[in-house]
């Protein structure tokens, strides 16, 4: 009875079929994992109907390889279909056992949903880190270019009358260069190479500047 309770409530799906074909046992954990009501309901399903269409060929290959298995185990990842049609990623471990004196195939199925989610989050974090490094490099190069631009514009400003048309053009160009410098600060903050420095802005002045 203890062994029965362990098998039914282990949290691991267990599926046993005879080596010659025919399913003989499905535990409650697998029934719940795939969203069915009972093992009897699953027995009525064709084996391939439990597997996502894109993985059926792979599962068939492992099913044939399981018949040739002598010792050890086979392991692979595959996508199963839950009763509601949603896909659930599972890790499958295949072992050859003896059931009531007959050769049988035991499949232990482990839910990979949480691991897949964590892997996706890690992948996204790594991607953002790469973007951050790239952004930081671009910001530094852009800063070097702006230094040359602003330096020359400041020298030009000393050579012209501030009230003249050329003086006004130089002043506007300097303003654009300083806005570019602000942009590099934001890029560096995005790349986590510079601390964020939030500050109060005046919406009216900002809007007038944009106009």
For 105, counting Cβ atoms within 10 Å of its Cβ (0-12 exposed, 13-18 middle, 19+ buried), the class is buried
List, for residues 83-113, the tens digit of each pLDDT value.
999 999 999 999 998 888 888 999 999 999 9
Cα(26)–Cα(18) distance, integer angstroms: 12
Contacts for 84-87 with beta carbons within 8 Å, 24 or more apart? Answer: 84/35, 87/52
Left if phi > 0, otherwise alpha if psi is -120 to 50, otherwise beta: which for 43? Answer: alpha
22: helix, coil or strand? Answer: coil
Cα(44)–Cα(206) distance, integer angstroms: 69
DSSP annotation of 51 reads B
Strand partners of residue 111? 90
List, for residues 153-194, the tens digit of each pLDDT value.
888 888 888 788 888 898 889 888 888 888 887 777 766 655
Give me the half-sphere count of Cα atoms (radius 13 Å) on the Cβ side of residue 84: 5
pTM, full prediction? 0.60
Token digits of residue 130: 């790469």
pLDDT at 192: 64
Token digits of residue 112: 């990979």
For 122, counting Cβ atoms within 10 Å of its Cβ (0-12 exposed, 13-18 middle, 19+ buried), the class is exposed
Give the pLDDT band of residue 81 (cuts 50, 70, 90). very high
Q: Provide, rounded to the nearest whole percent, the portion of the chain with pLDDT above 70.
A: 96
DSSP annotation of 199 reads -
């Amino acid at each position: 009875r203890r062994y029965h309770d362990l098998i039914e409530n282990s949290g691991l799906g267990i599926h046993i079929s005879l080596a010659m074909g025919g399913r003989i046992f499905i535990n409650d954990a697998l029934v719940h994992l795939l969203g069915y009501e009972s093992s009897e309901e699953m027995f009525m399903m064709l084996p391939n109907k439990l597997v996502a269409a894109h993985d059926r060929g792979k599962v068939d290959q492992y099913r044939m390889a399981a018949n040739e298995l002598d010792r050890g185990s086979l392991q692979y990842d595959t996508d199963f279909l839950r009763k509601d049609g949603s896909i659930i990623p599972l890790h499958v471990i295949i072992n050859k056992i003896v059931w009531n004196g007959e050769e049988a195939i035991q499949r232990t199925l482990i839910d990979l949903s949480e691991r897949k989610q964590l892997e996706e989050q890690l992948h996204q974090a790594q991607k953002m880190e790469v973007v951050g490094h790239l952004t930081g490099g671009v910001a530094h190069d852009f800063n070097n270019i702006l230094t040359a631009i602003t330096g020359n514009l400041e020298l030009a400003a000393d050579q012209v009358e501030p009230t003249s048309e050329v003086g006004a053009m130089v002043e506007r160009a300097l303003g654009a260069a300083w806005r570019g410098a602000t942009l590099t600060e934001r890029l560096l903050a995005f790349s986590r190479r510079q601390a964020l420095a939030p500050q109060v802005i005046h919406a009216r002045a900002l809007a007038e500047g944009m106009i």
